[in-house]
Structure 1
Amino acid sequence: MPWKLNLSNKKGALAEKSALLFLKQQGLTLLHSNFADKTGEIDLIMLDYSTLVFIEVRSRSHSRFGNAASSIDKIKQQKIRKTAAAYLLKYRQHSHRICRFDAISIDNHDGTGQNSLKWIKSAF
């Protein structure tokens, strides 16, 4: 039985939608969203000219546990790398491309509803 992703997190889906809109405005082209297999899940996979970019989107509404970017720990980075390798095996037409791992951090520390979006290129 194939592995299936459960997308029940509405805040996470909204953050990914905001990140996608922002990145498209920056000139990136979407290839896949929420690519998943047994190794994990990658939120967005995009092309930045000829570079293949694997993007993790994180959002936080409170700062008590740190900012959104700090939640991408070594274990999560390792899962994303393994999932990226699985993606490249499945979509061999991209195996020649230079790859990059970016992060989009969306924080709302002051509770005003005004989010700050930060694009971290080559995050790990």
Structure 2
Amino acid sequence: MPITNSRAQGQYYEDKACDFLSQAGLRLVCRNYTTRQGEVDLIMRQADTLVFVEVKYRQQSQFGQAVETVTYRKQQRILAAAKHYLMTQNTQAYCRFDVIAYQADADSPLWVKNAFQEY
């Protein structure tokens, strides 16, 4: 049965991404970290690296792939939220910014490691 509520759909794909990354050996640190500047869907830890993850879903690819929706502006909002997280948690760690993209017409998610970085 398709999910019609966009919030429920986002939660569903974040759950799937969290499970997918956990099976790959990453450990969940925080979900939906939100600040005035932006939001990070998942914060995971892989060894000594904090991985800030943006989860995207696209039902149709005729107007582009899900991973392409992480625009420069969206990246800046994620970077700002990540900086806020690091500052408020008084945490120093290597950081990586990944995107997990789901397409309705694909069998498995696309995991883009180091999808972007601070310039």
Q: 2:103 aligns with which of 89, 104, 107?
A: 107
C-alpha distance in structure 2 between counterparts of 1:120 and 1:98, whole Å: 17
Task: Output the amino acid matched with 1:37.
Answer: T
C-alpha distance in structure 2 between counterparts of 1:89 and 1:45, whole Å: 14
Runs of at least 5 residues in structure 2 that lack an aligned partner in the other structure:
1-5
RMSD: 1.5
Q: 1:37 aligns with which of 17, 35, 45?
A: 35
Tell me what 1:49 maps to.
47
Contact 1:31 1:47 in 2 (8 A): yes
Task: Output the amino acid matched with 2:115.
Answer: A
> What TM-score comes out, normalization by structure 2 length?
0.89
Q: 1:98 aligns with which of 94, 97, 113?
A: 94
Task: Output the amino acid matched with 1:39.
Answer: Q
Map Cα deviations across residues 43-97 of structure 1 (whole Å, 9 max, x no partner). Answer: 00010111011000000111122111000000000000011000011111x2x21
C-alpha distance in structure 2 between counterparts of 1:91 and 1:29, whole Å: 17
Task: Output the amino acid matched with 1:104.
Answer: I
Question: Which secondary structure does the structure 1 equivalent of 2:115 belong to?
Answer: coil
> What TM-score comes out, normalization by structure 1 length?
0.85
Aligned residues with identical type, % of pairs: 41
Question: Which secondary structure does the structure 1 equivalent of 2:22 belong to?
Answer: helix
Tell me what 1:3 maps to.
none
C-alpha distance in structure 2 between counterparts of 1:66 and 1:25, whole Å: 28
C-alpha distance in structure 1 between counterparts of 2:64 and 2:76, whole Å: 20
C-alpha distance in structure 1 between counterparts of 2:12 and 2:95, whole Å: 26
Aligned residues: 112
